Amino acid sequence: MPARDAGSLIGMTIGLPKLDVEDSLHLLSAKGFTGVEIFWGQLGPGIVDVPLSEAHAAAAGRAAREAGMEVSTLNCIIGPLDAYSSGSARRHTVQVVAQALRFGAAMGALRILLWDGELDDPTRLPDAPAQLADSLHEAMAQCGLAHPPEIAVELHPNTFAFRHRLHEETAERLQAIGAGICLDFCHAGVALGSHFIEEFSPQFLNAVTHLHYADTDGQSEQLHFPPGLGILDLDTVIEPLAGRGLAMAWDLFGWPAPRSAVSAGMAAYRDAVRTLQGHGRKRSPS
C-alpha cells in the first residue's frame, strides 16, 4: 500500500537549524514543498531548557498545515539510542520511543524517524538487531495509542547496522514488527560506497519504507550534498525503488547553503519524485 505522503515534495526543518519551526515551515512552503519532516530539536523555544510536551508537537503540526504542508515525519534523532548495554538502558529506550510515538501522533505525523544506535562491542552485536526490534515493538505497545505512527529506522555510517554490516538482519527484524528502514542516500553512500544500491538484497529493499534524497562525497557522513554535486548516480539509486509508493524527503542537513541548493535543484528533486512513483521522467518539450 503506498504511503499517504508518497508523491509529495517533502522538505526538512533540520536543514534549517538556525530557524525556529514557524520560519522553517514558511520558507519550505515558499520553495514549493507540500510536506515536511519536523525535527524534534526545533519544537521548543531553544533559548531556555524547558520540558517538551505533546502540546508543543500539536502546535507544530497546526503550523505546518497552516503553511499548506502535511506532516510527513517527526525526526526524533536527538541523541543516543541504547537498547543494548543494560536492562535499564533498554527500558529507558522503550520509554523514549513511546513518548516519540505520542508526540508524532499529536503532530499528525505519518511516521517517526529513529536511528539504530552506536554499538561496537563484539559480544553484543549478534543480538543487536533483535534487541532493537524488540524494544521498538514494546514501545509501540506501551505508547497507549490504538494506531501509532509508523517507525522508520535511519541507518548511519556510525551506527551498528551499516558499520558492522548487520543491515540485512536488522531490516528483517524491523519488518517483522511492522517497522521499516529509512534509506538515506548520503549515509548509505558513505557507509557502503557509491554503488550501495547494488549491495542490498531484494529483502532489504522490501523493508525500506521511507527515503532521504541526497548526494554525497562518499566521505562526509553528516554533509548531505545537493543532487549532482557528489558521487552518486541518483537515477540508478532510485530505479529499483520506483513504483513502490514510497515517500522521499529531500535531506540537506549539514549543507551550508540550503536555500540556494533548493532553488537550484528543485526541478531535479521533483523529477526524482515522479520517477520514484513510477511515472517516468518528465520530458523537455522539443
Query: Hey, where are the domains in the chain?
Result: 10-276
- Average pLDDT (53-79) is 97
* CA angle centred on 187, ends 8 and 273, rounded to 5°: 20
225-284 residue pLDDT tens: 999 999 999 999 999 999 999 999 999 999 999 999 999 999 999 999 999 999 755 443
Which pLDDT belongs to residue 48?
79
Q: How far apart are CA 166 and CA 153, in angstroms?
A: 13
Report the pLDDT value the prediction gives residue 281, as an integer from 0 to 100. 54
Strands, E assignment, the chain: 10-12, 35-39, 70-75, 111-115, 150-154, 180-184, 208-213, 247-250
Mean pLDDT of 20-38: 97
Tens digit of each residue's pLDDT (9 = 90 or more) over 126-172: 999 999 999 999 999 999 999 999 999 999 999 999 999 999 999 99
**Can you tell me the distance from the alpha carbon of 105 to that of 78, in angstroms, rounded to the nearest whole number?**
18
* Amino acid 280: pLDDT: 59
Confirm if 43 and 52 have CB atoms less than 8 A apart: yes
| The pLDDT value given to residue 49 | 81
Tens digits of residue pLDDT in 174-224: 999 999 999 999 999 999 999 999 999 999 999 999 999 999 999 998 999
Nearest Cα to Cα of residue 114 among 175, 39, 226, 221: 39
pTM above 0.75, yes or no: yes
Q: Determine contact, residues 36/108, Cβ cutoff 8 Å.
A: no
| Predicted local distance difference test score (pLDDT) of residue 285 | 40
More confident of the two residues 69 and 281:
69
pLDDT of 279 reads 76
Assign 3-state DSSP to the chain and report helix, strand, coil percentages, each to 5.
45, 15, 40
The fold adopted by the segment(s) 10-276 is: TIM Barrel (3.20.20)
Give the cell for residue 39. 525535527
Predicted confidence at residue 245, as pLDDT, reads 96
pLDDT for the residue 286:
32
Contact between 247 and 3 under an 8 Å Cβ cutoff? The reply is: yes
Q: What percent of the chain has pLDDT over 70?
A: 98
Cα–Cα distances (Å) from 96 to 33, 46, 71, 77, 135, in that order, read 30, 20, 21, 11, 10
